[in-house]
Amino acid sequence: MENEKLKEEYETIVKENSEIKRELADVKGNIEKMEKQTKRNNIVIKVLETKTSDAEKLKTTINKFIAENIGIEAKIKAVNKVGETTCIVKLIDEETKTEIMRNKAKLRNMEIDKIYINDDLTRKDRGKQKQLRIRAQEEKGNSVKVGYNKLIINGKEWRWNMLKRR
């Protein structure tokens, strides 16, 4: 009798546990969607020497840098400095970001230090991109391009598998 009662309690606990896990997965998914939404119009600029931490001066400096080197009048909402040489730039609209990302190849011709402009990614997305870059480095001798959640090796496209995480 006691065993049957314990079995029933165990089964209800297992059901509740599975429901809680499902709800937690939903909440995590929603949080990630919200984080991606807030980062949608952001870019990360690395290795740009900026001496100041004042937001307005940073905004002016980055606006001038983008206008001179990329040829785009950036509509910047805010700038946050997150290290000696790294800034997160929040742009007003997605069109400005798209234009900057399309024209960032113009930075290759600069004679000063290399400056990188990338998307502002979530921690999970940065991990995926890191794994893709590691895989790209393993493909020595082949033509390799790294995109968002994909690798193009000798013209053949490989996409990130969310379920297998590879």
Bridge partner list, 42: 90
Most confident of 3-17, 39-53, 96-110, 132-146: 3-17
- List the domain boundaries for the chain: 1-39, 40-119, 123-159
Bridge partner list, 119: 43
pLDDT band at 145 (very low <50, low <70, confident <90, very high): confident
Is the pLDDT assigned to residue 11 strictly greater than 90? yes
pLDDT band at 31 (very low <50, low <70, confident <90, very high): very high
* N- to C-terminal Cα separation, the chain: 49
Inter-CA distances, 51 with 76, 111, 150, Å: 19, 20, 36
Is the pLDDT assigned to residue 162 strictly greater than 80? no
Most confident of 7-11, 107-111, 141-145: 7-11
What is the C-alpha to C-alpha distance for residues 25 and 53, in angstroms, rounded to an integer?
38
Residues 49-78, buried b or exposed e (16+ Cβ, 10 A)? ebeeeeeeebbebbbebbeebbebebebee
Q: SS3 for 136?
A: helix
pLDDT band at 111 (very low <50, low <70, confident <90, very high): low
pLDDT band at 112 (very low <50, low <70, confident <90, very high): low
**The predicted structure's pLDDT at residue 25:** 94
**The predicted structure's pLDDT at residue 54:** 81
Structural element, H or E, at residue 158 = strand 156-159
Inter-CA distances, 22 with 15, 25, 26, 27, 30, Å: 11, 5, 6, 9, 12
* Average pLDDT in the chain: 87
Is domain 40-119 classified as CATH 3.30.70.330? yes
pLDDT band at 27 (very low <50, low <70, confident <90, very high): very high
